[in-house]
Amino acid sequence: MAEAHLTQRDIEAGLRQLGLSQGNIVLMHSSLASMGWVEGGANTVLSALLSVLGPDGTLVVPIFGDFGVLTKLVENHPHAVRSVHPLAAVAAIGRDAAAICRDHWKAELAHGPDTPYVRIADLGGWVLLLGVDQDRNTTLHTVEELLRLPYLRTTEEETFETPVGAVTKSWPLFPGPHRNFIGSDALLRASGKMTVGRIGTAVTRLIRSRDLIDIMVEYGRTNPAWALCDNPNCPDCVAQLAALRRDRLTKESFHLAAGSRLAGRYIPEMIDNLTAAGIRAVELDWVQGRPACSLGRRLAGVCDEFRAAGIVVSALRAEAVTENHEAVLDSARTAGIMRLVLPLSSRAGLIGRAASDKQMEVSFFNVAMSSEIASQMLLDMQSDGLKPRFTFSAAGFARAGEEPFLKSYKRKLRRFVDQLDVADATFEGAATPLACGNGEIKEMISILRCAGFDGWLTLASGGPDGEGLRQTCDRFMCLLDHM
Ligand SMILES: [Zn+2]
pLDDT digits 0-9 by tens, 441-455: 999 999 999 999 999
Rounded distance from Cα 163 to ligand 1 centre (Å): 37
Res 462: pLDDT: 60
Rounded distance from Cα 261 to ligand 1 centre (Å): 28
As a 3-state breakdown, the chain gives helix, strand, coil percent values, each rounded to 5, of: 40, 20, 40
State the virtual CA torsion across 72, 144, 119, 182 in degrees, nearest 10: 50
Res 1: pLDDT: 44
Radius of gyration of the chain (CA): 30
**Residue 408 burial (10 A CB sphere; 0-12, 13-18, 19+):** buried
Rounded distance from Cα 257 to ligand 1 centre (Å): 26
Q: How far apart are CA 403 and CA 394, in angstroms?
A: 8
CATH 3.30.479.30 fits 252-481, yes or no: no
Rounded distance from Cα 290 to ligand 1 centre (Å): 36
User: Among 38-42, 49-53, 187-191, 430-434, which stretch is predicted with the lowest mean pLDDT?
Assistant: 430-434
Rounded distance from Cα 151 to ligand 1 centre (Å): 12
- Residues whose Cβ atom is located within 5 A of ion ligand 1: 178, 229, 234, 237
Over pLDDT 70: what percentage of the chain? 97
Q: pLDDT, tens digit, for every residue of 380-389?
A: 999 999 999 9
DSSP E strand boundaries for 79-194: 81-82, 90-94, 126-130, 158-162, 165-169
Q: pLDDT, tens digit, for every residue of 348-391?
A: 999 999 999 999 999 999 998 999 999 999 999 999 999 999 99
| pLDDT of 465 above 80 | no
Q: Tell me the H-state helices in 32-175.
A: 42-53, 68-75, 97-101, 116-122, 139-146
Q: How far apart are CA 384 and CA 386, in angstroms?
A: 6
Res 66: pLDDT: 64
Res 360: pLDDT: 96
Q: Measure Cα distances from 225 to 184, 221, 240, 445, 482 in Å.
A: 11, 10, 9, 23, 16
Res 481: pLDDT: 86
Rounded distance from Cα 225 to ligand 1 centre (Å): 11
Rounded distance from Cα 471 to ligand 1 centre (Å): 18
Q: What is the mean pLDDT of residues 74-88?
A: 96
Q: What are phi and psi of 317, to 5 degrees?
A: -115, 140
Domain ranges of the chain: 5-222, 252-481
Q: Measure Cα distances from 399 to 92, 390, 422, 438 in Å.
A: 69, 18, 14, 9
Rounded distance from Cα 230 to ligand 1 centre (Å): 7
pLDDT confidence bin for 439, thresholds 50/70/90: very high
Rounded distance from Cα 180 to ligand 1 centre (Å): 7
Closest CA to 390 of 402, 404, 399: 404
Q: pLDDT, tens digit, for every residue of 112-168?
A: 999 999 999 999 999 999 999 999 999 999 999 999 999 999 999 999 999 999 999
Res 199: pLDDT: 96
Rounded distance from Cα 146 to ligand 1 centre (Å): 20
pLDDT confidence bin for 466, thresholds 50/70/90: low
Q: Measure Cα distances from 442 to 53, 71, 282, 460 in Å.
A: 57, 53, 22, 15
